[in-house]
Amino acid sequence: MTESIGTVDANPLRQNLPRARVPDPCAVVLFGATGDLTHRKLVPALYHLARGGNLPSECAIVGVARRDWTDEQFRGELEKSLSQNGDPDFAEFWPQFATRLAFSSGTFDDPQTYIRLKERLDQLDVSHGTRGNRLYYLAVAPEFFSTIIEQLGNAGLVYPSRQESPWSRVVIEKPFGHDLASARELNRDVTSVLDESQVYRIDHYLGKETVQNILALRFGNAIFEPIWNRRYVESVQITVSEELGMAGGRGGYYDNSGALRDMVQNHLMQLLCLVAMEAPVNLSADAVRNERVKVLEALPHWTPEDVAKNVVRGQYVAGSIEGKEVPGYHDEKGVKPDSKTETYVAVRTTLNNWRWAGVPFYLRTGKRLPKRASEIAIQFRQPPTTLFEVDSDEAGGANLLVLRIQPNEGASLAFQAKVPASRRRLQEVRMDFRYGTAFAVAPPEAYERLLLDVMLGDPTLYTRTDAVESAWRFCDAILDAWARPDAPPPAPYVAGSWGPEAADALITGEHSGWRRL
């Protein structure tokens, strides 16, 4: 049986997940073990969990991929990537972590792959004390999801859902489907082998500490909830912007996906749910997820005419970001020269429920925007009458609560205050909360929290079938409208700008215009 990796992290910024949350012994099986996600996110997350004492000593990590690697080759490749993670005591702790690592080669559609995997897992139950518990992580292309799950079932590598111990759970990466029809088909394939309680559809945004803090801010403070409704909120803006283009050879993948599928259907929909949901009866997984899905069900059913009025898609052309010239989308590697794939989406929508009726929600995301940032801005209504003098160029930002997801995680509240020595003139001021300053720790990486939760059997931060299908239902209406012969092509915008001019026309009202982050 292996020894536990050190229980105290030399980096105090990693000591933010309580030791009490140590899961059962288990084997973590990573399909797609030679891929970028495994090396860049999954194995570093498992390393830091182990480094901080949040993994049981009886835990093995098994990589599965086509390459004919030995355990030693797999460990060597991971050592190269992990050695760059900034841990000053890496050389000391790596040998202990390396004893957890094993590799099993094979293609995903070959039954022999799973026979070999089963034999290896049985061996690890004896050598590492993993007790038959299995976590399968599908870090593979979406076309392999159904195949792997079917093969796991055929090989007897998943257990009946009614069996509490040992357990088997499967984590499925996004995208979960390409549209509503494919999502439903994938759900049928998955549930033919697994029970819903065994399926963990991951959206790493929900693992971000600052995203989870949205619920704490809303339902842990009585000062916000009474005004969190249509009577006091004028509008809500949700922005996820990226300055990168098609980095890392993503052009081919992205050209078949686009901003709507890649970001709106999952990340932005989840942020919308957390901002708009009702208070759950408790913090159990079903209670929280029930309220999230109600928000998605309250989204409107749009016609193509509705989409034309409320959605703008764009595509970047050559420009500059931070003084560096960058190519247009059509010049990116892997992108078709005549591609109409959108790299920017802006949506204006409402929710058909009692709390939010009539309040516009503005969602936008895009590539090659001026900076990488994610935030939610809640604009409260202005006072009904003006008693003080307010400079017109300073009034627009007041009565505004901004929740910063990245970077500079935290929140700020802008309001009006009287300028010293003046009789009546007001000026905008801010109260600012920064996560790192307030708690003296950096938030944990999202994958650390999410991997720990699935090992603990807590699906709160994972997406349920009904939520996936409700989000696709809304996005399908947009995709269908764009597929019409008379649909206009994506509007061009210069790389380094905040998107096409047509998006500005979506926002109307006293505080018109998108926020410049």
Q: Is the dihedral of CA 207, 208, 214, 216 positive or negative?
A: positive
Q: How far is 172 from 266, CA to CA, in rounded Å?
A: 13
- The catalytic residue among 48, 128, 204, 267 is 267
Per-residue CA distances from 443 to 92, 207, 213, 456, 464 (Å): 25, 10, 11, 20, 25
- CA proximity to 196, closest of 462, 484, 417, 512: 462
Q: Is the dihedral of CA 96, 100, 106, 108 positive or negative?
A: negative
- CA proximity to 71, closest of 110, 23, 127: 127
Give me the sheet containing 233-241, strands edge to edge: 389-390, 425-434, 410-418, 400-406, 373-380, 233-241, 361-366, 344-349, 311-317, 491-494
| Residue 267 annotated in active site | yes
Containing H/E element for 37? helix 36-37
Q: How far is 228 from 213, CA to CA, in rounded Å?
A: 16
Bridge partners of 233, per DSSP, are: 380
Half-sphere exposure of 443 (CA within 13 A, CB side): 21
Q: How far is 436 from 491, CA to CA, in rounded Å?
A: 39
Per-residue CA distances from 349 to 154, 359, 378, 448 (Å): 45, 8, 15, 33
Q: How far is 288 from 208, CA to CA, in rounded Å?
A: 16
Residues 6+ apart with CB under 8 A from 488: none
Residue 268 main-chain phi, psi, to 5 deg: -70, -35
Where do we find the tokens 């003084």?
Answer: 323
Please list the active-site residues.
267
